[in-house]
Chain A
């Protein structure tokens, strides 16, 4: 059997080209996998019957605990900066929530969707805040979660059978993490203002609300997400939390899970004048 004649150096060139192609493939594969999101579905859909009872569900995002070297690095940074540096950093863990709401009733209606949540240090629970004010015989100055999902455009109502689709974006979760940390760890004095202000759209005013926060603070990301849902009609809310993790800290099969014990935030109720 004869082969087509070829130059001696062709073999070397071919090997180099194959090596370059393999390297290019490996780089492409690594680039493709670096920012792949991981999805966490709710255990079940949130369903309400329109009688006023709220449906809520807490979803803990699965991360791995730090390795020994990661933990000593974190502790080193903690002693350098003078405050507890989180394992899950808000600038490295990007959270988003996708949801669909279906009107199961026979009349058009709107809905209320609020998000509570917890970092590894602090948990915000709307009920606990209301209870703190109730204990002092006061009305809570604000009655919604860390984030309130805006209603459909122009306040449109959902017709029977209609499906509304929405996203609580990464920047919304960033704001939640910022607010929660300012309130829970740094005791921002005016917590309703912290919740109401959007720091990046009105930074001048927002700065006033975060005076107790150190500059260039490394903030903890939300590790727990609690959607709370209600409507005056029977409705169903399905949700899915999407996480991008820059440092590969998400939990994988066979690993132990990171299970922090955050403190529930209790606002200081001003004494009655």
Chain B
């Protein structure tokens, strides 16, 4: 049996492969560690110095662009009451939040936007001694924005995140959180 020679012809140039391809990065369950600062704004802000913050989050990417997340973040502050005995005391703020996060991924970059709700608790009652709050635990809600850089490892990314929580029970103040973070997706 014989046949004619087959010929192939390239009719158009192949598309350039996207590198790195975000679909190759791991997603699903992830954890994230945060290190940064919390600045309290509003009536309480003038009585609390900005403090360093440490946080931990665990989440699940439902799809590549939407995730749910649980966050815990603690920040340590020093009180400022120049003529009062409350001055110079340590106060920690504990944030426990749930978040719905939307992400857009392109090559190394991940830009995310989230909405959060949860509680903020003060470690002591010192603010209530000057009438700035009457309960140590308050509801909190807000949102944030983040930019992450994905390494060539399937699992690791680093980023910078900023968020704002309105905390009505904390003297109707808000907490501005800015952190650098590292994320590991399993």
Contacts of B29 in A (CB 8 A): 14, 18
Which listed residue (B31, B92, B130, B154) contacts A21, Cβ 8 A? Answer: B31
A224 part of interface (Cβ distance < 8 Å): no
B26-A29 in contact (CB<8A): no
- In chain B, what residue has the closest Cβ to A2? B23
A100-B123 in contact (CB<8A): no
A–B complex contacts, Cβ < 8 Å, 13 sampled: A4-B26, A14-B186, A17-B31, A21-B58, A29-B94, A38-B125, A98-B85, A98-B89, A100-B84, A102-B83, A239-B85, A240-B86, A242-B89
B56 part of interface (Cβ distance < 8 Å): yes
B86-A25 in contact (CB<8A): no
Number of chain B residues whose Cβ lies closer than 8 Å to a Cβ of chain A: 30
Which listed residue (A4, A14, A33) contacts B24, Cβ 8 A? Answer: A4
A residues sitting closer than 8 Å to B (CB atoms) are 1-4, 6, 10-11, 13-14, 17-18, 21-22, 24-25, 28-29, 32-33, 36-41, 98-100, 102, 163, 165, 238-240, 242
B28-A6 in contact (CB<8A): yes
Given contacts A6-B26, A14-B29, contact A36 B83 (CB under 8 A): no
| Of B27, B31, B85, B125, most A-chain CB atoms within 10 Å | B85
Which listed residue (A10, A18, A238) contacts B31, Cβ 8 A? Answer: A18
Given contacts A32-B74, A41-B129, A100-B85, contact A25 B25 (CB under 8 A): no
Contacts of B94 in A (CB 8 A): 29, 32
User: C-beta contact mask, B90-112 vs A, less than 8 Å → 1, else 0?
Assistant: 00101000000000000000000
Which listed residue (A1, A13, A163) contacts B83, Cβ 8 A? Answer: A163
Q: Is the interface of A mostly helix, strand, loop or mixed?
A: mixed
A4-B56 in contact (CB<8A): no
B186-A39 in contact (CB<8A): no
Task: Report the separation of the CA atoms of residues A1 and B29 in the bound assembly, to the nearest whole angstrom.
Answer: 17
Which listed residue (A10, A37, A99) contacts B186, Cβ 8 A? Answer: A10
Contacts of B72 in A (CB 8 A): 25, 29
User: C-beta contact mask, B123-148 vs A, less than 8 Å → 1, else 0?
Assistant: 11110011000000000000000000
B85-A99 in contact (CB<8A): yes
Could you tell me the distance in whole angstroms from the C-beta of B60 to the nearest C-beta in chain A? Answer: 10
A4-B86 in contact (CB<8A): no
Given contacts A14-B29, A239-B85, contact A38 B124 (CB under 8 A): yes
B124-A39 in contact (CB<8A): yes
Q: Other than the known A28-B74, A32-B123, what 4 A-B pairs have Cβ atoms closer than 8 Å?
A: A18-B31, A29-B94, A41-B130, A240-B129
Interface residues of B in 7-62 (CB under 8 A from A): 23-29, 31, 56, 58
A4-B125 in contact (CB<8A): no
Contacts of B23 in A (CB 8 A): 2, 4
B124-A3 in contact (CB<8A): no
Task: Report the separation of the CA atoms of residues A40 and B124 in the bound assembly, to the nearest whole angstrom.
Answer: 11
B92-A98 in contact (CB<8A): no
- In chain A, what residue has the closest Cβ to B130? A41
A1-B87 in contact (CB<8A): no
B2 part of interface (Cβ distance < 8 Å): no
Given contacts A4-B24, A6-B28, A6-B186, contact A25 B85 (CB under 8 A): no
Contacts of B86 in A (CB 8 A): 39, 98, 240
A18-B58 in contact (CB<8A): yes
Could you tell me the distance in whole angstroms from the C-beta of B132 to the nearest C-beta in chain A? Answer: 12
Contacts of A32 in B (CB 8 A): 74, 92, 94, 123
